[in-house]
Amino acid sequence: MAELTIRPEEIRDALAKFVASYAPGAAARDEIGTVTEAGDGIARVEGLPSTMTNELLQFENGTLGLALNLDVREIGIVILGETGGIEEGTTVRRTGEILSVPVGDGFLGRVVDPLGRPIDGKGEIKAEARRALEVQAPSVVERQPVKEPMQTGIKAIDAMTAIGRG
């Protein structure tokens, strides 16, 4: 009986060829889904199998939504804007962008919507950078130690749970 052997060089060459031909997001963003149900700021969508958690999706009227619940057959999307016009049969397109928000000193004292767009009528805000909304917290070793306790004013909580200021 013949023995099957795979040489490590073949595997390495195949992986190198695959990585070299990879084009991120080019084809995946062309996916179009359809709303199957909408109500109370949530839409259920079918037909977007490559959607990532926390990806921004765009409805046909331009409203953005956030993909949160990724089921096998459909996606639960939180609608981040006006829900008018989003109903069964509405098309939804992937953007390929993970939810991020603009940050910078220009946001101090301003009122913004969930996407960081100004809604206080004081004009545009110059952002210094964009930060992903969901990031991993620093490890306990990387954080500054708690030096000062914080009192809640509720004796039962203060006695049972130590809360650090900061």
Residues 6+ apart with CB under 8 A from 63: 79, 80, 81, 82, 83, 85, 86
Beta bridge partner(s), residue 81: none
- What pLDDT was estimated at residue 23? 73
pLDDT tens per residue across span 57-67: 999 999 999 99
pLDDT band at 54 (very low <50, low <70, confident <90, very high): very high
Q: pLDDT tens across 98-115, in order?
A: 998 899 999 999 999 878
Single-letter amino acid code for the residue at 80: L
CB 120 within 8 A of CB 110: yes
What's the pLDDT tens digit per position in 32-48? 999 999 999 999 999 99
Q: Are 49 and 90 in contact (CB under 8 A)?
A: no
Q: What is the pLDDT of residues 110-157, one digit of tens each?
A: 999 878 889 999 999 999 999 988 889 889 889 888 888 888 999 998
How many angstroms separate the CA atoms of 166 and 157, rounded?
Answer: 18
d(CA 125, CA 86): 29
Per-residue pLDDT, 3: 72
CB 74 within 8 A of CB 108: no
For position 106, what pLDDT does the model report?
Answer: 93
Query: Cβ neighbours of residue 119 under 8 Å, at least 6 residues apart?
Result: 111, 112, 113
Q: Is the pLDDT of residue 51 over 70?
A: yes
Is the pLDDT at 1 greater than 60? The verdict is no
Tell me which residue has tokens 């200021």: 165
So what's the pLDDT on residue 63?
94
Residue 26 is predicted with a pLDDT of 53
| In contact, 104 and 126? CB cutoff 8 Å | yes
Domains of the chain (ranges; CATH) run 31-98 (2.40.30.20), 100-136 (no CATH)
pTM here is 0.64
The pLDDT assigned to 93 comes to: 96
- The span from the CA of 27 to the CA of 108, in Å, is 39
